[in-house]
A = this chain, B = another copy of it.
């Protein structure tokens, strides 16, 4: 069971790259080569993030992408929702057979609890936090 797909994985890395050079336009090409992300794949992810107002773009020569939203406001939960859909433990929990016949579904109760735990854990992790951790790790090892 894989929690993060490549979509989300690549998006996180691209955002870290942009957040590290805040205020600058960085081309998809340079992000792709530097972070080993398939170019065309990355471009789709970037466009998706534009639509969600996480980043902005500039066309033409010297164009590229730039951070728009505050990195501390971008959570992994948000990225998962964009690229993998809202976190839901099981869709079955809302089907008639289990929940419709009873006032309360016991599974549903557990599931909702876990769902909120998972979401809140991922919400603690923001691009801003990851970037700071990354930078301090680099200071130590480089």
* Chain A interfacial positions (CB closer than 8 Å to B): 1-4, 6, 8-9, 12-13, 35-36, 80-81, 84-92, 97-98, 102-107, 109-111, 113-115, 117-118, 121-122, 125, 130, 133-134, 137-138, 140-141
Tell me, rounded to whole Å, the shortest Cβ–Cβ distance linking A11 to chain B. 12
- Which chain B positions have C-beta within 8 A of A125? 110, 114
Q: How far is the CA of A110 from the CA of B132 in the complex (A)?
A: 13
A106 contact from B2, B4, B137, Cβ within 8 A:
B137
Q: How far is the CA of A133 from the CA of B107 in the complex (A)?
A: 9
Query: Assuming A8-B90, A114-B118, A117-B121, what are 5 further A-B pairs, CB within 8 angstroms?
Result: A9-B90, A102-B138, A106-B134, A107-B130, A110-B125
